Amino acid sequence: MASQKLYAGAKLREIRNRVALTQKDFAQKLGVSLPYLNQMENNNRPVSTTVVLALAQEFGIDVTELSTGDSERLVSDMREALADPVLAETEVPLADIRLSASNAPTLARAFLKLHHAYRQTHERLASLDEALGREDVQMQPSPWDEVRDFFHYCDNYIDAVDRAAENFSNIAQEQDGVINAAIQALKQIGVTVLFTDDAVLRRYDPQTGTLHLSTRAAPETRNFQILLQVVLLQKNSLLEATLDLAGFQSDSARQIAKIGLANYFAGAAMMPYGKFLTAAQSLRHDLERLSQTFGASIEQVAHRLSTLQRPGNKGVPFFFVRVDQAGTITKRHSATRLQFARFGGACPLWNVHRAFETPGRFLRQLAETPDGVRYFSLARDVSKSGGHYGSPVRRYAIALGCEIKHADQLIYADNMDVTNAASYQPIGISCRICERTDCHQRSVPPLERKLTIHENTRHVLPYEVG
């Protein structure tokens, strides 16, 4: 089968701007003519093999950047936004969406921000009628969504923070482990660490220089919180510089992102990139053994696996998602072509929802999305105790997976019949944009399809999808 042509004009322009070269100088470095480079940057021509090799040799560019950029994410997000009822009569061909995502990604993101603002305002006014006319009703994207999109479009990998955490961990090995090193680092700046029977996981008092950690929390949670406090106190300049580059629209988004970056550092310090990637490959991504090796929880390990996208040294491209009992997605990331619904819950046919029924067990699933891409999905519950009798239990389920071509690197995929088409469960992203016409679990009709209602006939659904 002929290989698919690679159109990556926006990525070429991004690389050229990154190395600060004019089109003429960039073309000379790549060994092509100026008109040819111009045509590639405008997606009038595919990126040639000569250019791919030159990018690697002249600039040390990881060529997988060309094919694993934002395009698929933008296409998925734009399709969902365009399926909004307010735009239901405007039918935008998929080819046009792909063209916008590849040729005008900045415009595509601006459209998504505008749609976010519209949805937030619409939902606020629908639920808070009394807010009409108030001056403090703001039309801007949710800070939470803004931060989530920041990590989403960075492939959930923040290079400067990841490398700083790895360096901290490598030095810490000389001090009897990363946690002891973290405690010593806090002591050096006058912080006293106290373990108390407290419902609050972590509480730092800057006036007394006292860090209180709850003994009710699991050991891996306490360790994580110690590292998080270290980065907040000792790596603040790194966090602030990263936040400056991100350019968040509000102080709330910046504050949320700062905690997110601190969390990222803590996880990366517990599971430093090089050692963790080597162990993951050696243990064939056995989450339980990785958990034991690095003193981390199953969820922490799964989340870390989804961040191993360092240019030139990438791991398996995973998707990672966490849902609550209502099916609402509380964490999401995908380094694969699989994207998640930005609004509402995940597909009910996905095994992540069944994990609540089998606590403590891993569930395996072979799944296929409407675009024909096949995946391996691993799901498990990660319920979290409140630490004492009568306290509420937080119940979540996580899913970790990859495209089926990587499944042989996962111990969980052993003995599964990956060559049998009948073994794959049909799943989707969101009912309103799912193209399947015969799904028995469909909750709402697809907005881009014509419905037929038969008054005298009733199947599983009360309508037929055309």
> Can you give the pLDDT at residue 129?
45
Model pLDDT for residues 338-397, shown as the tens digit of each residue: 777 665 567 888 999 999 999 999 999 999 988 888 999 999 999 887 777 777 888 999
Distance (Å, whole) CA 414 – CA 328: 30
What's 125-158 look like in SS3?
HHHCHHHCCCCCCCCCCCHHHHHHHHHHHCCCCC
- Quick one: pLDDT band at residue 5, thresholds 50, 70, 90? low
- Quick one: pLDDT band at residue 149, thresholds 50, 70, 90? confident
| Percent above pLDDT 70 for the chain | 88
**433 neighbors 83 (Cβ within 8 angstroms):** yes
> Can you give the pLDDT at residue 122?
60
> Can you give the pLDDT at residue 80?
76
Which range (17-31, 97-111, 235-249, 316-330) has the least confidence? Answer: 97-111
Mean pLDDT for the stretch of residues 239-256:
91
Distance (Å, whole) CA 133 – CA 149: 30
Model pLDDT for residues 119-129, shown as the tens digit of each residue: 766 665 555 44
